Structure 1
Amino acid sequence: MSLWMLVPVSLPVFIITGIWVVYAMALYNQHVCPVHNWLYNESCEEQLPLQRGPVLCCTLDNIPLISKCGTLPPESCFFSLICSTGSFMVMLIGLLRYAHVVQKHQNCVLNTAGLSAGWICAAGLIMVGNFQVDFAKVLHYVGAGMAFPSSMLFVCIQSALTYRLAKTKEDYRFGHVRVVMALLALIALVLSGVFFCQESFALQHASAIFEWIYCMLIMLFYGTFAVEFGGMSGDTLMVLSRGGGAQSFSTSEHKTEVGGGSNHQQPESFVVL
């Protein structure tokens, strides 16, 4: 087994643990209401951080959305760190997955689209983490608008690529698992978006819960790449150095060997490089 499998495993472990720690900090500082709280008011006589007692008065500003949990310090500092680190890991996993598909099959439009979707998601994640919703709402929503749809597109593309690369029954079963995860994530994303636009307190609270479910599913989906990355080697990284043209590069090398290294093969080699 290759140590590269630790990269996709570490992403969900780090992100899921991190955002729950941020939620715990926000809850401790009374910046958001608990997830189990379903009672909200139009307004409160006293702001939530200043309230004391077992019964809290909550408004829409205190709904435990993931972004809301990371809005105020000190949890906002950890939230920014988690999103920035997670963004880098998402880019790395997307790049390694791209090289893995090229090595096992060949490069295709679907594979390139998957890499692009993953990197757009990473860019949106940085914006979400570093532009808090209460202080830079437009930039925060732009980042969210990039991260959520592109992450959904990424898992759909990777589910399709799993079937394209499948050769055994176990591979197809693994593809089924990814499709189920992608469908559950899509349902959670749609419900979260629909409920978020409603005026009902209960529905907006449900939106926050589905947002948490969606993020958990996406992170667990990234973790499934440990199966492919377990067989990854240095040859996979060489695919990146060749510009993703593993098949054409090998063909060119074969021609050069057959031709005995003659000069008329050099232009083709330079083009490939």
Structure 2
Amino acid sequence: MSLWIILPISLPVFIITGIWLVYAMALYNQHVCPLSNWLYNDSCEELLPLQKGPVLCCTLENLPLISKSGTLPPESCFFSLICSTGSFIVMLIGLLRYAQVIERHQNCVLNTAGLSTCWICAAGLITAGNFQLDYAKVLHYVGAGVAFTCSMLFVSLQTALTYKLAKTQQEYLLGHIRLTMSLLTFMALVLGGAFFCVETSFVLQHISAILEWVFCMLVMLYYGTFAFEFSAMSPDTLVVLSRGGGASRFPASVHHKLEASAPSCYPPDGLAMLYSECGGGEMTSPHITQKLSSGGDGGV
């Protein structure tokens, strides 16, 4: 089993743990309302951080969105760190997955599109994580929109690629699991976006926040399923990357067989050395001259 399996497992563990930690910090500092809260008001007499008592007055300004939880310090610092680190891991997973498909099968449009959407998603995640919602709303929404959309595209492309390359029963089962997760992710994204646009309904806005959390969890768990492929990753995958992602004409096993069957006699600099190393014994200068004058039948 390859140690690369740690990479797709570490991403959901790190991201899911990190964003829930950020939410817990925001909840402790009363920067957002709890996810369990379903009562919202048009306005409150005091701001949420200044309120005291077991019952809090919540408005849509304190909706428990993931990005809203990481808006104010100190949790905003951890949120930026989590998004930046997560983006790097996402890019690395996408690159290795791209190279592994080339190394084990061949390159295709789905594979190239998967790498492109993965890296664009990482760029959107960095933007959303480092431009907080309350201070750079436009940039934050652009980054979040790019990250969410490209995440959905990446999940869909990888699901189609899984079915295209599947040969064993386990690979088809993995495709079914990814297809189920893709459909749930799509439903969470579409419904969450639709409910978020209905600003007159507090209930739908809160459901939208919950669906955003569900979407993020599903996408991170989807990345975790790459542990199946990464457990069998070979050093040839890194060779593919060193060649710039170019696919070789023959599989690696064929190259090894060709190398093993190739003759071990290579032409040295001197004709006498050549004849000696290839089993001809010693030759003197007259012998060499005789060979050359007769057409070189026993020589080169």
TM-score > 0.5 by shorter chain: yes
1:88 maps onto 2:88 in alignment: yes
Conserved 8 A contact 1:98-1:111: yes
Residue 127 of structure 1 corresponds to which residue in structure 2? 127
Residue 212 of structure 2 corresponds to which residue in structure 1? 211
Residue 297 of structure 2 corresponds to which residue in structure 1? none
Residue 266 of structure 1 corresponds to which residue in structure 2? none
Residue 267 of structure 1 corresponds to which residue in structure 2? none
Pairwise CA distance, 1:7: 0.2
Unmatched runs of 5 consecutive residues or more in structure 2 = 268-300
Computed over aligned residues only, the root mean square deviation of the Cα atoms, in angstroms, reads: 2.0
Residue 195 of structure 2 corresponds to which residue in structure 1? 195
Residue 112 of structure 1 corresponds to which residue in structure 2? 112
The one-letter code matched in structure 2 to 1:30 is Q
Aligned sequence identity (%): 73
CA deviation profile, 1:152-189 (whole Å, cap 9, x unmatched)? 00010000111111111111111000000000000000
The one-letter code matched in structure 1 to 2:91 is M
Distance 1:66 1:101, change over 3 A: same
Residue 234 of structure 1 corresponds to which residue in structure 2? 235
Distance 1:261 1:38, change over 3 A: farther
Q: 1 or 2 for the larger relative contact order (CA 8 Å, sep ≥6)? A: 1
Conserved 8 A contact 1:188-1:210: yes
Residue 151 of structure 2 corresponds to which residue in structure 1? 151
The one-letter code matched in structure 2 to 1:239 is V
Pairwise CA distance, 1:261: 9.6
Could you list the runs of 4 or more consecutive aligned residues of structure 1 that deviate by over 6 angstroms after TM superposition? none
Conserved 8 A contact 2:104-2:251: no
Residue 48 of structure 1 corresponds to which residue in structure 2? 48
Conserved 8 A contact 2:26-2:69: yes
Pairwise CA distance, 1:145: 1.4
Q: How does 1:165-176 map to 2 (within 5 A)?
A: 165-176=165-176
The count of corresponding residues between Structure 1 and Structure 2 is 260
CA deviation profile, 1:201-242 (whole Å, cap 9, x unmatched)? 110010000000000000000000001000102111111111
Larger displacement relative to structure 2 (98-107 or 13-22): 98-107
- Structure 1 or 2: larger helix share? 1
Conserved 8 A contact 2:124-2:145: yes
Once residues 214 and 191 of structure 1 are traced to their aligned partners in structure 2, the CA distance between those partners, rounded to angstroms, is: 10
Distance 1:40 1:228, change over 3 A: same
Unmatched runs of 5 consecutive residues or more in structure 1 = 263-273
Q: TM-score, normalised by structure 2?
A: 0.83
Pairwise CA distance, 1:248: 3.3
Conserved 8 A contact 2:151-2:219: yes
Residue 38 of structure 2 corresponds to which residue in structure 1? 38
